[in-house]
Amino acid sequence: MVDYAYRNLFYKTQQTKDILIVDSEATVTPNTGTTPTVDGATVEIHTADIKIDSFSLDEKLCSADDLTWGLMESAKVEFSIKNAANIPNLKKSDYSKMVNIYIYFNGDSDTLFQVGQYVCESDKYTNDRRLRNIVLYDALYFIYNEDITEWYNGIFKNANYISIKNLRDNLFTEFVSEYDYPFEQETTTLVNDSVQIPKNIESDSITFGFFMSGILNANGVFGHIGRDGVFQYKTLVKYDESTVATVTDDFRKPPTTYEDFAVWGIGYVAVFNEDGKKLIPNVGSSSYERPSIYSIIDNFVLTGIFSKPGGVDELKAAVANIREQVTHRRYAPMNVDHVGDLCIEVGDNVAVTGDIGTYNTYVLERHLNGLGSMIDTYTSKGNRKQPKYKGNGKYHGGESSEDIGTSGQGADGVSVLDNEHDKRFCEIMRNAGKRFLAEPTGVSVDYDDTDMEVSVKWSDPTDIATSEPEPITWESTIVIRKEDSVPINRYDGTVLVTSTTRDEYSETAFVDNTIEKNKKYYYGIFPVGTNGNVTFTKVMVVDTTEYLLAPIVNGIERIA
């Protein structure tokens, strides 16, 4: 949220909005009650020069279908100017400077508001040559694919390890002094700034975008250029923090779309190398009922930490820092039109209110159109949960019981299946005078996809001493495993263990280390009484299928 003293003017009707576009070398002096004074300008564009309804501004923090930390997306401005001879072509080879865009209200430049700093990408006449269509982007658009290989190799020439902070500080110093469109970074401390990493990028062409995306992703932040032209490291505030603004979705009754769910919060972070091998167990301890897992694949910062002596523990600490940056970020995906308010920035958390009630979300994209009558469209995409990535980690077994035929809470690729047919059979037999032990209690099945082990715990049922219809004493508990389908009885599967010591595995788990990748296993736990009757219990389902759907930061393309 931009701290602007006259923000209320965006919401007042019949406010005249003026625009001023000048090159960055010009000096702009606000004047109370009159238009600003401009000195030393090569380019100077005013409201009268612009086709008012042609002005638009697109800003994106994360346009992906799911939250993807590490993205850097450019802002884009479009407008048409009248064919005025005194305005030079902004794209000519001898003029390719940055320009600042300002707006002010009611001819009073004391209300001067900086929209942003941009560079011209296109300046072309319309077919009738009455107008020129101009397209601007922020500097990130032009610098994203800039080759920094020489800088990268040079900075590691006399050092085995360099901290993340020193790397990014040195890189921005390089661009301020060497590049055509220099921009500075904000002064801030990232969660893994102090981590030392080795030179481990082997490539003949390392781009600014690739390198910075890896740094951003390894710190749980996005890259964004603010209204003042400064590069920002933006994170999303936790969903339970106070919202910065209220967006009323019934402004002028525009169309509004929104999802009737909030995305499930990220509870765990998984890290993989370029071959898809998990480097450490998933990091996280979520209180969510249905946590999502966020996976990072082939990030040179994290793989570099892992390669160091003692790197496993250091990597776990770094990933724990990332998790703190990405967890507890729940929101309702939406697309809402609103009165144009440039104080609201991408990344802001807002409360949307209207006929649908009130819900909290983030502004992940914005499209602003018009000057005389500004209309903003705020968008945030997102699925109910992060997609399944390579390695199951901790995630819910399904959206609902219909999705995979399971019910109950899922964790580590585990879900719980209630076999209602066998439950009814037991009930019929009880009604016929047959006695069965109760189900075991405290049942838990955990799947470790790093060591490929399944751990099973349970507490055995107590004896039944009453004589009607007959007493029954616990004798043993049998655990069986079957691939691909539900066991129909105690004999339908591989017997893993027959325990004759009561509660033998209530504290210390029975471990099955004979499982394989890309299979689905069904575990049944059957208490057996001295009368020979077998109690059918819940079946625990373990899915060891691997998925490879994670966004690979190294492959991000420049996004206009």
Dump pLDDT digits (tens) for 151-176: 999 999 999 999 999 999 999 998 77
Best-predicted range by mean pLDDT (113-122, 288-297, 450-459, 534-543): 113-122
Instruction: Outline where DSSP puts E strands in 40-97.
Output: 44-46, 56-60, 76-82
Between CA 335 and CA 256 the distance in angstroms is: 6
Question: Which of 251-265, 318-332, 465-479 has the lowest average pLDDT?
Answer: 251-265
Q: Which residue has the higher pLDDT, 24 or 559?
A: 24
Q: Which of 422, 325, 249, 300 is nearest to 69 (CA)?
A: 325
In the prediction, which pLDDT does 468 show?
65
Mean pLDDT of the chain: 83
Average pLDDT score over residue span 48-74: 94
Of 202-211, 234-243, 388-397, 539-548, where does mean pLDDT reach its minimum?
Answer: 388-397
From the CB of residue 298, how many other CB atoms can be counted at a distance below 10 Å? Answer: 18
**69 neighbors 326 (Cβ within 8 angstroms):** yes
| Average pLDDT of the residues in 68-84 | 93
Which of 73, 78, 50 is CA-nearest to residue 62? 73
What pLDDT, on the 0 to 100 scale, is given for residue 222? 97
pLDDT range class, residue 358, cuts 50, 70, 90: confident
Segment 400-419 mean pLDDT = 37
Range with the poorest average pLDDT among 294-308, 426-440, 466-480? 426-440
The tens digit of pLDDT for each residue in 486-523 reads 787 788 889 999 999 999 999 999 999 999 888 888 88
Whether pLDDT at 287 is above 70:
no
Q: Which of 351, 392, 109, 401 is nearest to 237 (CA)?
A: 351
SS (H, E, C) 382-429: CCCCCCCCCCCCCCCCCCCHHHHCCEEEEECCEEEECCHHHHHHHHHH
In sequence order, the β-bridge partners of residue 131 are 82
Residue 219 burial (10 A CB sphere; 0-12, 13-18, 19+): buried
Q: How much is the pLDDT for 29?
A: 96
Once rounded to an integer, what is the mean pLDDT over residues 420-436? 54
Which fold, 401-543? Immunoglobulin-like (2.60.40)
Query: What digits encode the pLDDT tens for the residues 213-228?
Result: 999 999 999 999 999 9
- Where do the structural domains in the chain lie, given as residue ranges? 266-326, 401-543
More confident: 96 or 254: 96
Contact 545, 518 (CB under 8 A): yes
Please check whether residue 228 is in contact with residue 114, taking contact to mean a CB–CB distance below 8 angstroms. Answer: yes
Q: Report pLDDT for 102.
A: 97
CB atoms within 10 A of CB 505: 22
Do residues 248 and 350 make contact, with C-beta atoms less than 8 angstroms apart? no
Q: In what order do the strands lie in the sheet with 414-417?
A: 407-411, 414-417, 539-543, 520-529, 474-483, 494-499
Does residue 469 have a cis bond before it (omega within 30 degrees)? yes
CA proximity to 515, closest of 444, 454, 456, 457: 454
